[in-house]
Amino acid sequence: MSKVCFVTTGATAEFSELIAAVLDPQCLQLLKKEGFTTLNIQCGETFKNVESMKPADTQGLAIHAFDFKPDLHRDMRECQALEGPGCSRKQGLIILHAGAGTVMDAMRLGLNMIVVPNPSLLDNHQDELAEELHMQNYATAASVQ
């Protein structure tokens, strides 16, 4: 049975720190321990460096990376639980920058979320959204530090 973790960095600003954090061997080990089989990563500009960022041991996870897509709904839906003839998938996880549009899309799909503000953005406005989502129990707020 598959279980997908989808990571998205957003379309407007590079967030290589998030990519490095999810490709860290400790993170991959934790994902494997929690039963994940696949890690899909929307990298943005970091795509050109992602192969060199992958550790030699990926803990048996299938890791797929891409730069941009005009629509991430299909990728997000792969994190939803699915039961049916010939297909089953456990509820997964989305790890995302704290952009309001992406957060709303994930909430509409009822996805488990870890929201990571991009500290390089002007006035770090994503912090407020991440903290509020965390306080209201919609998501877990995290940082790359």
pTM over 0.85: yes
- Rg of the chain in Å (alpha carbons): 15
Pairing state between β 82-84 and 87-89: antiparallel
Residue bearing tokens 């954090």? 21
Q: What is the pLDDT of residues 32-52, one digit of tens each?
A: 999 999 999 999 888 888 999
In the CATH scheme, what is the code of domain 4-141? 3.40.50.2000
- Between CA 65 and CA 8 the distance in angstroms is 10
Q: What is the pLDDT of residues 5-30, one digit of tens each?
A: 999 998 778 899 999 999 999 999 99
Query: Closest Cα to residue 95, out of 36, 22, 14, 7?
Result: 7
Q: What is the pLDDT of residues 75-128, one digit of tens each?
A: 999 999 988 787 789 999 999 999 999 999 999 999 999 999 998 887 778 999
Residues in the chain: 145
